[in-house]
Chains A and B, each alone.
Chain A
Amino acid sequence: MSTDAGRSTAHDGDPSELLSAYLDDELTVDERALVDEALRASPPLRRELDELRATQTMLRALPLVEPESGRLPSIAADAAVPDDADSATGAEAPPGDAPVVSLDRHRRRRTFVGAAIGAVAAALLVVAGVGATLDPMPIAPSVEEFAAVHVGTSGTIGAFDAMGGETMDDPAVLPSLGDGLDRMAVYARDELVHTVYSDGTHDVSVFHEPGVVDWEALPADGEMIVEGPVKTWTGVRDETVVAITERGDLMVVIVADAEMGTDAAMEKTMEAVEMVPPVSIERGLWDRLSDAPRNLIDRI
């Protein structure tokens, strides 16, 4: 109990105003005696104290909060705007403050707000990366979100945003998937890299992120393919075929347009799975993570 005689006593002599501090053991001796006396005389006050204590107990029992797991950016919905919005809302807009290097213009089947994928992914991934450890993290990927990101970005690639080009040196970013599916754009923020390939008609997205797949968390409606040590989950979502696998220290997710035909998309997806080379992250996750706030500091 506190004996701080100098503590504020601005409670107008109303014991009910002291109940929280009473619970927190933050009253002076005199104030505590005042509340004790009032409690003995007033059942409603005791009731109020019990309710405040119960409230405090509930707050103290609040669980640990983690950043949302598998937080691959749910940026598709934010990134995509209706077709008729087109350039007016910034299909050409730079992604936030990040440097943008224009590559070849690509067809514009859908409008894409580049700013969203950059700025939102940055916000999400910098701190999502805080959750990284030196050991590969188990990731519970959201199949729906990967499919949505693919749908939201495909067909309108006009910008290349690679955080200083670092991703171009990443062996997991292939220049081509074959059959005319050439790399059209790479979006990278910290640990997540999204590469879009296109043959001019159909698109294939390859995402990779440090970590291992939490296989138990994947939807039951998919098919698990096991070839030697390589496991791959496949399924169909929102007009796309999705495959999830691992390569080295990376979780790799491949999404292909189902409009090329489900069988063809599945075939292309599995071909892409085969093509992604086994890689390890040369730089420690922590080094990468540390760079993000430090780069921010440098800019301030």
Chain B
Amino acid sequence: MTRHETRLSESAPVADDVVPTWDDIARTHRRFMYSVAYRLCGNHTEAEDVVQTALVRVERGLAGYRPGNLEGWLARITTNVFLDEVRRRRRRPTEALPDDAERVLVGAPAADEAATADLPDYIQAALGRLSEDHRAALVLCDVIGMSYPEIAEALDVPVGTVRSRIHRGRSAMREMLLPHLEVDQ
């Protein structure tokens, strides 16, 4: 169970020892998945696309799901959809921009602008300036509340890499948010 499960879930979470149905997941964990996606993408349009794709993967993956940390599993799927999309875009750097200019590519140079346009939130804007890898690790840690080993499993990287990414990401956030930080003198 993640730190914010009760805050983000719609209703009573599915018991950890029960394999939920797709409907259960989409009903009770949609806000959780959307929040993860939004914090990663920084704008609603991309977050909606990520959640849609993640729900497809959830449906496909349910047969192999073993009861346990459901939201950790959902966060993992959502985050990997996001990262897959980033990688896909990078593999096609010459891909034409979409007709609708707001649908800025995740990770593209203008992603920061999209993030700030959708949410005038300096924290979200700062998150959008992190590299996608650092952002993913930091969101899973600080926003979702996953442990380092859980994040390492989710991202398929060593725990040491998670530790490094979180520290780099949090330090960069600290620099950007310094004027807003409340620290005892």
Contact = CB atoms under 8 A, between A and B. Distances in A.
Interface of A: 7-8, 10, 17-21, 24, 26, 47-48, 50-52, 54-56, 58-60, 62, 64-68, 71, 78, 89, 113, 115-116, 120, 123-124, 126-128, 130-131, 133, 286, 289-290, 292-294, 296-297, 300
Contacts of A10: 160, 164
Contacts of B178: 51
Given A51-B181, A293-B59, A130 B26 contact: yes
A54 B181 contact: yes
A68 B160 contact: no
15 contacts: A8-B159, A18-B167, A20-B166, A24-B141, A26-B163, A52-B170, A56-B142, A58-B181, A59-B143, A59-B173, A62-B143, A64-B8, A65-B38, A123-B45, A296-B52
Contacts of B159: 7-8
A65 B174 contact: no
Interface of B: 3, 7-8, 22-23, 26-27, 30-31, 34-35, 38-39, 44-45, 47-49, 51-52, 55-56, 59-60, 99-100, 102-103, 123-124, 138, 141-143, 145, 147-148, 158-160, 163-164, 166-167, 170-171, 173-174, 177-178, 180-184
B10 to A, nearest CB: 9
A67 B173 contact: no
B183 A113 contact: no
B163 A290 contact: no
B34 A66 contact: yes
Contact of A300 (B27, B56, B171): B56
